[in-house]
Amino acid sequence: MVSDDPIQQLETQRIFAIRLNACGCIIDTPELDFEVKLGQRWKRVFLQADDATMPAFQRFRSERLRHPRSVTQIEAEFTGVFYQWVQGHQAPGLQFMRAVDDTLDDGDKNNP
């Protein structure tokens, strides 16, 4: 059974459904353009890559920019850090490891 606690999900989960959903209120921080599905909700995250995963991350981000809001999967690890992006909103940090597949057909592709 999947926990309803999003923080517990972040700490134990490694495969995430993800979509690009850029927010107009966030300027010059492309790491905050992504949301992951935690339970029944989408949660904005700070998605980062290290030197080893940067080429794969750049390919992944480029593909998502061509298909915004389409849902796909990544393997990522919770960094334990939260990033404040507007007053009262914090995005958990995720370390990108790899894209798992191209698209997910789970009925959430058009879920705003």
The pLDDT-based confidence of 52 (bands split at 50, 70, 90) is: very high
The verdict on residue 23 lying in a domain is yes
Percent of the chain with pLDDT over 70: 84
The verdict on residue 91 lying in a domain is yes
pTM, two decimal places: 0.81
Q: Which of 22, 36, 42 is nearest to 100 (CA)?
A: 36
Identify the pLDDT of residue 107: 45
User: In 10 A of CB 18, how many CB atoms?
Assistant: 26
Number of domains in the chain: 1
Q: Which range of residues forms the domain containing residue 65? A: 6-101
Q: What's the rounded mean pLDDT across residues 70-95? A: 92
Residue-wise pLDDT for 79-90, tens only, equals: 999 998 878 889
Identify the pLDDT of residue 111: 43
Identify the pLDDT of residue 109: 43
CATH of the domain at 60: 2.40.50
Q: Angle at Cα 13 formed by Cα 39 and Cα 73, nearest 5°? A: 75
